Amino acid sequence: MPTSLAGMPDNADGYLNLGLALTREGRHEEAAAAFRRAAAIDSGNPGLHLNLGNALAAQGKAEEALACFRKALALKPDHAGVLFNLGTQLRRMGRLDESEAAFQAAIATAPDYADAHHNLGVLYQEQKRLDAAAARYRRTLELEPGHYQAASNLGSVLRAWKKPDEAAALHEKLLAAHPDRPDAYVNLGHARLDQGRYEEAQALYERAIELNPASAATRFDVGNSLSGRHLWDEAIAQYARALEIKPGLDDAQYNLGLARLFRGDFGQGWPGYERRLQSADVRAGIRKGTAALVSYERLPRWQGPAEAGVREVGIWAEQGIGDQLLMSTLIPELIGAAMPFIYEVDPRLLKAYERSFPGQRFVPLKKTPHVDLLLASRVLLAGSLPGLFRGLREDFVRQPRALLHARPERVAHYRGRLDELGPGLKVALSWQSKRGQVPLGPHKNAPLIQFAPLLKRPGVHFVDAQYGDTAAERRAVQEATGVPLQHFDQVDYFNDLEEVLAILEACDLLVTTSNATAHLAGALGKRTWLLFLGDRPTFYYWAHREGPRSLWYPAVEIVTGRQFTEWAPLIKHVAERLAQERS
């Protein structure tokens, strides 16, 4: 068969066959020329326009490809193959509503078209419509049980649903059927990572690397499995290797920064942390919706106190309320630098910040940023402040003992209520986080019943400081221990944060797992015992090396130990410490 158009007979089938042969060799530009000649000879053949569209799409010529698919569809409106390729091209172009319509039309024409069901599932998964995506993947597998990608994507949905055991079982079957596929090892490795089985995950990733040594993404995955075990030096080496292979791998830059922060290398860690906007997963959690971030990225960035000619800096809040409180501990640095600023804070704490920093400008965090933030001469995300002011461990001696102040009259009110319980320590208790499990640390939540040895300590009164509906847990614990937890039923612990600040201030001590309550108490300067397992902090800001104190919150003491790998012995240890408090 000829391998070029030269000397070809003027025959549509000949040009078609040549185009197909060139496509198999990856010579898409030449293939497009052959298909174009074929279509010119037999312009009424929709298959020729379809093949030309595919060749153009392979070259990245999206609009030209789209025009070919539409021409083919005009010739045969019920051509399922054309509708499928049209939907695929539209999805690549981000025109998702039109893409969905095309896939739906392909399925209506050919109900057993497995790939159309699968690609519609991919579209739904990209839109976070996970129920619809899973239904399409399952339908694909009914039609074609060996459809690898549908099964693999279904496993991804199961992981997104926080069902790692089901995801692992599915990926185990896929790996058994496809032991030569690197991605089969990687996907099972991801499920093992979700299960906290880090060594098994690492072994699976390393096998994938044996099959595909050039994969930067899998080196990054090995780094994550090592980070899960808090083997920071080894993790850093793997992230660095991934970046040697692919220097622009933003997730590796970000996780490398995090690993260095866990290790206390702040000067090296903050530049990597600055890559969070380029990491898709992290970016999605920085603000509610991406529109605000797009606005932020258009504005001139503040370079720090040495930058001249800055009229006012707009500091934009980011991430959850715990991170917002943490980063706001740098407000005294802004004031000390004599830098005029406008600072965005959670609206539930707006009055507390205004009360604690009179004369400074604060605006409430909203989906659409306050106009004054948009008009500031420079802007900065709050998470970027430590990179300017906390480059060395020694810089943390400047952390404020207390950042916020509760309303005195409300503190007096709750102290009066607590005094009614009788003499003895008043200990606030918080035990869970809505953020649940984090990728680089052990589980953050301890069931309230685990605190039974603590609650049974005589002469101590415990106060529920946990946000959310805790009534059922409190009832169950009281039935099991005979000990009630004081709860102020009139307070919405999630929204009435001014009241929560007053409740915490009225207590003698907070005992808590890693959650927003720990940050609230730390910002108050309230004495706090922060608990986590195995001396493996869930976040970099709870990492400690020289003594048990939090670098960020001087009033927070880290209570953990490598020997405490389960909650029961750790809480028993806390109970013993509490007994010593009273002696």
Domain 291-398 in this protein, CATH class:
alpha beta
Distance between CA atoms of 116 and 126, rounded to whole angstroms?
15
pLDDT score, position 441:
44
Contact call for residues 134 and 118 (beta carbons, < 8 A): no
Classify strands 425-430 and 378-381 as parallel, antiparallel or unpaired: unpaired
Multiple choice CATH, 12-222, 1.10.1040.10, 1.25.40.10, 1.10.357.10, 3.20.20.100: 1.25.40.10
Reported as a single tens digit per residue, the pLDDT across 295-345 is: 999 999 999 999 988 999 999 999 999 999 999 999 999 999 999 999 999
In the chain (583 residues long), the average pLDDT of successive 10-residue segments reads: 56 86 91 88 89 89 91 92 92 93 96 96 95 97 96 96 96 97 97 95 98 97 96 98 96 97 96 94 87 94 93 96 97 95 98 97 95 96 97 96 97 97 96 65 78 92 95 94 94 97 98 97 98 93 90 97 95 93 63
What is the widest separation between alpha-carbon atoms in the chain? 103
pLDDT score, position 496:
97
pLDDT score, position 13:
85
Reported as a single tens digit per residue, the pLDDT across 36-52 is: 988 889 888 988 889 88
Distance between CA atoms of 162 and 154, rounded to whole angstroms?
13
pLDDT score, position 38:
87
Distance between CA atoms of 562 and 260, rounded to whole angstroms?
20
pLDDT score, position 438:
47
Contact call for residues 421 and 486 (beta carbons, < 8 A): yes
- In this structure, the chain runs to a length of 583
Contact call for residues 310 and 365 (beta carbons, < 8 A): no
* Level-2 CATH architecture, domain 408-582: 3-Layer(aba) Sandwich (3.40)
Domain ranges of the chain: 12-222, 291-398, 408-582
Q: State pTM to two decimals.
A: 0.88
Distance between CA atoms of 285 and 314, rounded to whole angstroms?
20
276 burial type by CB count under 10 A (0-12 exposed, 13-18 middle, 19+ buried): buried
Matching CATH topology for 291-398 and 408-582? yes
